[in-house]
Amino acid sequence: MDRKEYLKYQYNYHKYISKQYNRLANYHMSISNIYNNKLLKKVNTNEFNIVTKKFLKPNIEVRYPQITNLENKLVEQQLNKKLKDRAFSLMEDQERDQYNLVYMDASYNIKLNEKNLLSIYFNNYGYSKGAAHGGMLTNSITLDIKNAKEYEIKDLFKPNSKYKKRLSDIIKKQIKEKDIYLLGEFESINNNQDYYLTNDKLVIYFQVYEYTPYAYGIPKFDIDYNLISDIIDMKGPIGRLI
């Protein structure tokens, strides 16, 4: 097999792996929705459409969401810029961090679309020439559809609620219960902690190698709203959901 054939083989192989990774991610989301009964009843979804746009260049495909048919066109433009910027920022991070990138596939999952809230999880898979395996990189964004406000994790909780310690303690408990092998000790979430929202859970996640080995995948910790209801800001985004 000459070099050209080898690179073609690697491209096709990792394209297949990426598709399987995204298929399983979507399947997991669907099963989760079924179990929490969100697919068994009509939900109050937001009144707009979400379409998938594609950015293509050699060996790279980035799919990202864009909003259409929102009544306020200025807010629609602001939302779409934030969504596109988030997807492209993740692509640029992966291009920078993975040398000799042969292939990249970027997609997204809608985790919440209700009560004028939109929470989207972005996932990238890339393969570098000569690497033992591909690389995963993720990000997310939670937005208010009415005014394009982006919510940081601190915006979910009451002022002075010590939410970082509370969430960190819950995560530590889950790590112990699930017997998750860590590369280093987990002490606390950070001020800019990655998260997304679902109809009934706050999900905290970390990057590959941040605390866990590659084989574990992206570590995610589901936290039911009823476990933290006493520190939730009822005027914030989660307050609309409970």
Which pLDDT tens digit goes with each residue over 36-73? 333 333 334 678 999 999 999 888 999 999 999 999 99
Residue boundaries of the structural domains of the chain: 1-150, 153-242
DSSP string, 160-172: T--HHHHHHHHHH
Q: Do 83 and 66 form a contact (C-beta atoms < 8 A)?
A: yes
Question: Could you tell me the maximum CA-CA distance found in the chain, to the nearest angstrom?
Answer: 63
Q: What percent of the chain has pLDDT over 70?
A: 81
Instruction: Please tell me the pTM assigned to this model.
Output: 0.82
Top CATH class, 1-150: alpha beta
- Of 154 and 30, more confident: 154
- Of 165 and 57, more confident: 165
| pLDDT, position 8 | 53
| pLDDT, position 47 | 83
Q: Within 13 Å of residue 51, how many CA atoms lie on the same side as its CB?
A: 8
pLDDT digits (tens, 9 = 90+) for 3-26: 455 445 555 555 555 555 555 544
pLDDT digits (tens, 9 = 90+) for 216-240: 999 999 999 999 999 999 999 999 9
Report the distance separating Cα 202 and Cα 233, nearest Å: 13
Q: Do 121 and 111 form a contact (C-beta atoms < 8 A)?
A: yes
| pLDDT, position 130 | 76
Averaged pLDDT of the chain: 87
pLDDT at 135 over 50: yes
Q: Do 229 and 166 form a contact (C-beta atoms < 8 A)?
A: no
pLDDT confidence tier of residue 32, bands split at 50, 70 and 90: very low
pLDDT at 149 over 60: yes
Mean pLDDT of 79-87: 99
pLDDT at 137 over 90: yes
Report the distance separating Cα 227 and Cα 200, nearest Å: 11
Top CATH class, 153-242: alpha beta
Report the distance separating Cα 115 and Cα 240, nearest Å: 7
Neighbours of 75 (CB within 10 A): 18
Residue 124 Cα distances to 15, 22, 61, 88, 120, angstroms: 12, 9, 10, 11, 13
pLDDT at 96 over 90: no
Mean pLDDT of 187-196: 98
pLDDT at 187 over 50: yes
| pLDDT, position 1 | 55
Mean pLDDT of 88-100: 88
| pLDDT, position 46 | 75
| pLDDT, position 27 | 44
